[in-house]
Structure 1
Amino acid sequence: MQRVIQFGTMLFTDGLVLWRRGDPLLMGAAIAYNSLFALVPLGIAFVSVLTLFSGSDALIDNVFEWLSTSLPPQLASFLSDILRQSVDVVSGDRFVILVVSILVALWSGSRAVYAIQKSLRLVQGTIDERGYIRARLTGVVVTVGGGIAIMVAYGAMLIGENAWEEITATLNLPSVGFARGAVVLASLLWVFALLFVIYRFGPPEPLPYAAINAAAVTVVLYLGTIIAGALLPRLSNQAIAVFGSVGVILLWLYFVGVVVVALPLGSLTLLSVLEKTDRQ
């Protein structure tokens, strides 16, 4: 019993030290702010890419329909307004707008990733000697990967759902949203891959058990999103009245930011305590 109490005490004290160094609450706010700031240029870039294809109006209408059927009305309206304004902006010089929006999105997205890198570096207590460009390269790669994932996921869901509906109609089978399920699974695997890149290559020293940490964070984010999606329709009127549409999205992004920093800190704390107990 005494050893259990001692282990718990060490876990608390070491965890408190790492928590103060990494400061997940502050870094989570930085991640949320930069992610929110990237929404508008991402929306413009997304619409710009869609307009490169024939039948872009139908593709954009499908996006609006998906938002209206998948999200609470207030949040769907907020995101639809961003895309609708993006359509108006893109109607001008498409190429210049696409380049500028991508650059702004890369800047904001990489800043969010850099907040994770900085937190892990502070916890490790090391000096990053890789240089500015190399240190930021991880953030740029992850941001580009996230943007590509959005486009691929939308295209796969659109093509997959149409193909699946044709197959089920031909065979007289009920459509069960197979394409959406496949896209969700692929998205989770992609999130895991991006988190693994951050934890493995982001800090000066790779995070121990980066794959396990990335998998744990992915699961927590997925479950948290499901719970939030189930609760939000019941609380949407009160929540949006208090926070506003932007506030609700910012609150979810803050949850994401805290989780991607706090869980690795927890694993580092556990490893530190286990190492001390082995020495004793």
Structure 2
Amino acid sequence: MCAASRNRDCIQGNQAIVSGEQGAMKEFYRDPIGILKEAVQGFMGDDGTGMAAEAAYRLVFALPPLMIFFASISAVASQYTGIDAFDRLLDRAEDGLPEEVFGTLELVLQSVEEQGGVGLLSFGLILALWSGSNAIAAIVKAINRAHGLEDDRNFVVQRGVSLALTLGLSLLMISSFALLVFGEAIGNEIAGFFNLGDLFTLLWNIVRWPVLLIMFMGALAMLYKFAPAERVNRAAILPGSIIATIVWLVASYAFSIYLSLADPGSAYGVLGGILVLLLFLYISSIVIVLGGEINAAVMRRLHGSAPVMERGDHPLDLYREPIDNAVASTGGKAATWAVLGVLVGGAIFGGLFRRNSGDGSPPL
């Protein structure tokens, strides 16, 4: 909000930013190759491969609790819906992952499914949030480096931002999980309730796959929007989100072809699946970091083509949304409360399920 005393200057500043954003998008469409080259140069100069390796390493430790969480959801959902959610989850994972990666995850998922239950679900959720926030923190650091920003926020604020992003991404993942596993059943229920017929069911089963792609793109956009230490305008995050999504799909497909030809499992034995999983996470992390570099390159182009504003000397000041000190202070407090909320909420969540299970054991 603009204060009354500086309302005119604030409005002029916002108009300049909007005009600059439009110029940046035109510049991107006019010279995409140049922007991609600049992004790759920035990626190499910022040690993007090293940052991606750190993120992949932390993602490895986030995967077990994440698998516990989704396998537990499948077990609970199967009990209450009568749908064999676990087998559907395995089928979708087998369709979407390289064979060696799926084989490694399948063993863990089956082990978790045998011990499934609501108690394990609550444990997996809390552990997945914390472990996932460590991986997100590495990605946040890489995106800040791409933008030339020094994240000088205190530890509580940084951890709160990572937890908040992890929670938001988890909600998107749960929604994606529901569409993958229960999408057909949901479509049938909607068609039956509103008497929409078979045509709606057919359209639903076609449309839900692009929706999943849009949700993945939205997850990347969320990272690129809220990860930087300074808030940036929404229009500048679109190029990186779109290109990163496309590159990730192409890279995953190419990686699957490579694995079908190379067969690393024959050379490394049981370790082959683990090595392939690490490589897959590493490639995914590279794509995410590269998307951040693309957004940074777009904003640098915007700065070079738009009039310089009186909001500081940093090259990204032109793209930052005006933030009052009170708003910045509120953001820090919100991050602090996010940390406390996750801890207290996790304790209450686990306690409720322990009480409902009577003797403290999982009810399943």
Given the two structures, how large is their TM-score scaled by the length of structure 1?
0.74
Any stretches of 5+ residues in structure 2 without a counterpart? 1-32, 192-196, 308-364
How many residue pairs get matched? Answer: 262
Note if contact 2:43-2:293 (Cα within 8 Å) is conserved in structure 1.
yes
The answer as to 2:310 corresponding to 1:268 is no
What does residue range 1-280 of structure 1 map to in structure 2 within 5 Å? 16=41, 18-19=42-43, 22-53=46-77, 54=80, 58-68=84-94, 71=97, 73-90=99-116, 94-95=118-119, 97-162=120-185, 179=205, 181-206=206-231, 209-229=236-256, 231-232=257-258, 234-235=260-261, 237-238=263-264, 241-242=267-268, 244-269=272-297, 271-272=299-300
Q: Aligned partners of 1:29, 1:21: CA distance in 2, in Å? A: 15
Instruction: Identify if the C-alpha distance between structure 1 residues 273 and 21 changes in structure 2 by more than 3 Å, giving closer, same or farther.
Output: same
Q: Aligned partners of 1:61, 1:12: CA distance in 2, in Å? A: 44
Instruction: Identify if the C-alpha distance between structure 1 residues 278 and 248 changes in structure 2 by more than 3 Å, giving closer, same or farther.
Output: same
Any stretches of 5+ residues in structure 1 without a counterpart? 1-7
Query: Root-mean-square deviation (CA), in Å?
Result: 3.8
1:81 Cα deviation after fit = 0.7
Instruction: Identify if the C-alpha distance between structure 1 residues 277 and 151 changes in structure 2 by more than 3 Å, giving closer, same or farther.
Output: closer
Note if contact 1:14-1:273 (Cα within 8 Å) is conserved in structure 2.
no
Output one character per residue of 1:189-215: Cα deviation in whole Å (capped at 9) or x when no partner.
122222222212211124561122222
Report the residue type matching 2:60 in the other structure: L
Report the residue type matching 2:137 in the other structure: Y
Instruction: Identify if the C-alpha distance between structure 1 residues 263 and 66 changes in structure 2 by more than 3 Å, giving closer, same or farther.
Output: closer
Q: Aligned partners of 1:213, 1:90: CA distance in 2, in Å? A: 38
1:154 Cα deviation after fit = 3.1
State the identity as a percent: 23
Instruction: Identify if the C-alpha distance between structure 1 residues 24 and 177 changes in structure 2 by more than 3 Å, giving closer, same or farther.
Output: farther
**Which region of structure 1 is more displaced relative to structure 2, 140-149 or 36-45?**
140-149
Note if contact 1:121-1:203 (Cα within 8 Å) is conserved in structure 2.
yes
Instruction: Identify if the C-alpha distance between structure 1 residues 86 and 133 changes in structure 2 by more than 3 Å, giving closer, same or farther.
Output: same
Instruction: Identify if the C-alpha distance between structure 1 residues 164 and 264 changes in structure 2 by more than 3 Å, giving closer, same or farther.
Output: closer
Given the two structures, how large is their TM-score scaled by the length of structure 2?
0.59
Q: Aligned partners of 1:177, 1:238: CA distance in 2, in Å? A: 40
1:29 Cα deviation after fit = 0.8
Output one character per residue of 1:145-166: Cα deviation in whole Å (capped at 9) or x when no partner.
3333333223323443347789
Instruction: Identify if the C-alpha distance between structure 1 residues 83 and 268 changes in structure 2 by more than 3 Å, giving closer, same or farther.
Output: same
1:101 Cα deviation after fit = 2.0
**Which region of structure 1 is more displaced relative to structure 2, 158-167 or 251-260?**
158-167
